[in-house]
Amino acid sequence: MITGSPQMTWCPPFWTLPISTASRYGSHGAFYRYKNSMGKSLPLFYIYDSYLTSPEAWAHLLTPNGPHSIRNTPYDGVFIALLVEEGHTHDILAAGFDGMYTYFASNGFSFGSSHQNWKAVKNFCDANNLMFIPSVGPGYIDTSIRPWNNHNTRNRVNGKYYETALQAALTVRPEIVSITSFNEWHEGTQIEKAIPKKTPTRLYLDYLPHQPSLYLELTRRWAEHFIKEKEQWLM
């Protein structure tokens, strides 16, 4: 994660159990907290595949008057749901989430991951006091594990795909941009250093003719640009 305000984060591709996580690690200095609209500094959780649980069930936990509400308890947090389909925007609102993120790195794969929809989603979130966290990626190729999914492959174009996604994200003026991903090599979305490597079963894609740190350098550059842009938005 790149600290400062605004933030860029890498979102984990799994559901983190908030109660046990907060209980075990909540007092640690490295445990990430986000200051919400009420000025409270709370743990931030990305909840992958949140739509598999009904809005009614989530509302029991995430709305202030829910029968098992964790709001204003030691287990409160900033809970960010996964936006896949357009209709999920209203489900996320009804469920009591604090915002939504798009996760997928393949532009056009889903409603949420399509850059052209981000302005409308941001407008919905602004109107309903929700955070919108667009997710950007450097490219996408998962045919080594999903041979049938070639139509969702997105070429990196030597960093241009990543920069196009970052520009689309900043255009809607979000508080946070998440990055998919740091090291998910099996889906071709990694931004960590890469050198040419081949095993008997897999060819790992590298960044040649660029340096192994190309995407880390791009991330740093855009994070700095993001901070400067945010300063202008607040003027």
pLDDT, tens digit (0-9, with 9 covering 90-100), for 58-114: 999 999 999 999 999 989 999 999 999 999 999 999 999 999 999 999 999 999 999
Question: What is the spatial distance between Cα 231 and Cα 212, in angstroms, rounded to a whole number?
Answer: 31
Question: What is the spatial distance between Cα 197 and Cα 174, in angstroms, rounded to a whole number?
Answer: 37
CATH number of the domain enclosing 114:
3.20.20.80
Number of domains in the chain: 1
Give the model confidence (pLDDT) of 132-160 as tens digits: 999 999 999 999 999 999 999 999 999 99
Question: What is the spatial distance between Cα 101 and Cα 151, in angstroms, rounded to a whole number?
Answer: 23
Question: What is the spatial distance between Cα 138 and Cα 162, in angstroms, rounded to a whole number?
Answer: 4
155 token code pair:
């070429």
Note whether residue 81 is domain-resident: yes
Note whether residue 13 is domain-resident: no
* pTM confidence score: 0.90
Residue range(s) defining the domain that contains residue 151: 33-232
40 token code pair:
């409270």
Note whether residue 23 is domain-resident: no
Note whether residue 107 is domain-resident: yes
22 phi, psi to nearest 5 deg: -65, -40
Is pLDDT at 169 greater than 60 in this prediction? yes
CB 103 within 8 Å of CB 178 = yes
Mean pLDDT on 158-178? 97
Give the model confidence (pLDDT) of 198-221 as tens digits: 999 888 889 999 999 999 999 999
Lowest mean pLDDT, pick from 114-118, 151-155, 231-235: 231-235
Note whether residue 198 is domain-resident: yes
Note whether residue 159 is domain-resident: yes
What local confidence, expressed as pLDDT, does residue 23 receive? 80
Note whether residue 158 is domain-resident: yes
Place of tokens 């409308």: 120
Note whether residue 20 is domain-resident: no
44 token code pair:
């931030």
